[in-house]
Amino acid sequence: MENIVFPQGFLWGAATAAFQVEGATDVDGRTDSIWDEFCRQPGKVVGGDCGEPAADHYRRFEQDVAMMADLGLKAYRFSIAWPRVRPDGGKVNQAGLDFYQRLIDSLLAHDIAPWPTLYHWDLPQKLEETGGWANRDTAFRFADYAAATVEALGDRVETWTTMNEPWCSAFLGYAGGIHAPGRTEPAAAVAAVHHLLLAHGLAADTIRAAQPDAKVGITLNMYPIIPVDPGNPADLDVARRLDGLQQRIFLDPLLRGEYPADIVADLEPFGFSEHVHDGDLEVISAPMDMLGVNYYTEHYVSSTPNGESGPSPWVGVQHASFPARDAPITDMGWEVRPDGLTAVLMRVHQDYPRLPLYITENGAAFRDDFSGTGAIDDVDRTGFIASHLRAAHAAIEAGVDLRGYFCWSLLDNFEWAEGYAKRFGIVHVDYDTQIRTPKMSARWYSRVARDNALVAVS
């Protein structure tokens, strides 16, 4: 494989999320999030796992930061735990803020840029008990949390992400019941969509008021939606609906100041429009400085029923199935489709107002191969990242303003409803001893970051 050089100044980093890595779930004033409660519900998380101890990042962050520096990474995308900073959604907890101050200070001391995300799915459980994201007031409580966080940390942070993957929060959490809080209420899910976006806009305004020079954005998970039979009107309609729910219901209000009319009509039976108040879209569509794109796979969709019943995250879609194609799959069962990354980057570039893009998550779960020497030769994961970096570079060559890449994930961690059964990390974590072991993918990615080039896998 010939070397491919990335633009000068391209940002190389790795990403984690608070509930997935921190552990210390009842330490220094932190209270329950919706994920703590979800983990207690039998059958919701594989193995009955929970966020304790995760990767014990709360206590071991200095070691992890030093390891990132050794790997040559220049940015760390992490999330801040709302239940640490404002436990139960209430008063500010200085001990929680102090942890993030120590983390950021350590990153800066190692010449690593902190890229905090304010919300990566850990809503305080007390706010869920008053309606969660289905309650409009939660958006304003989020703005209060953002204000306290930026006041404490903003002097050391240049780039803020408000939300991570609001699609998952709304549709997996409130319609499909697959993620916390585990509700299966389509009307609550569509309300959550709007309130999450409103929270983003309110928080963005709050950040800019406190820190005018800050860069502010949001991260969306994006996937091409491909109809099985483009000549079948039913398949085309299902693809349209899924694309609207996955992509356009977020991109359009953020970047065009309006919701897509066809999806608004689709969601009218669930009361979507009643949640959109005068002035909301102006708040949501305030100019952003960057957009984060999380990419893992494509969706290949048919209108043929799949024979399954029960709650679905695809609100208003009666029949949808996802036939398998002839492609490699990850340990999550997701098809490896690097060309889809080029496609989603090109789509944002061509269809929406131009702004800098960053790949804020991309990676894969595979079963790690332990050799007799103790090395972890994760050839599949290394190849996955390499193929997707090639796809990202293709987008750059086509004119996309792509400025950085964060691999998911720095560490093996708590993988939400999959518990500890799936490993995405480029660094192996032994959950019994908390020993960290960089995998082949970490050693290779370190070379990529240092050379600013896609180097041959060896």
Just list the catalytic residues.
165, 361
Cβ 248 vs Cβ 197: under 8 Å = no
The amino acid present at 271, given as its one-letter code, is G
d(Cα 297, Cα 153) in Å, to the nearest integer? 34
Cβ neighbours, 10 Å, residue 355: 15
Residue 20 corresponds to which tokens in the numbers above? 């997935």
Dihedral angle at the C-alpha atoms of 6, 119, 109, 414, nearest 10 degrees?
Answer: -90
* 416 annotated ligand binder: yes
* 120 annotated ligand binder: yes
Pick from 154, 166, 146, 170: which is nearest to 92 by CA?
Answer: 146
| β-bridge partners, 370 | 376
| β-bridge partners, 258 | none
Cβ neighbours, 10 Å, residue 103: 23
d(Cα 426, Cα 408) in Å, to the nearest integer? 8
| β-bridge partners, 358 | 292
DSSP strands (E only) in 126-254: 159-164, 215-221, 225-227
Write out the DSSP string of 83-148.
HHHSGGG-S--HHHHHHHHHHHHHHHHTT-EEEEEEESS--BHHHHTTTGGGSTHHHHHHHHHHHH
d(Cα 300, Cα 322) in Å, to the nearest integer? 6
* 415 annotated ligand binder: yes
d(Cα 89, Cα 342) in Å, to the nearest integer? 39
Residue corresponding to tokens 């193995």: 47
d(Cα 454, Cα 458) in Å, to the nearest integer? 12
Cβ neighbours, 10 Å, residue 169: 26
The alpha helices in 288-401, defined as continuous H runs, are 339-351, 379-397
HEC letters along 29-71: CCCCEHHHHHHCCCCCCHHHCCCCCCCCHHHHHHHHHHHHHHH
Residue corresponding to tokens 């519900």: 41
**β 113-119/215-221 pair status:** unpaired
End-to-end CA distance of the chain: 10
Q: Which residues are annotated as a binding site?
A: 20, 120, 164, 296, 408, 415-416
Q: Which residues are annotated as a binding site for substrate?
A: 20, 120, 164, 296, 408, 415-416
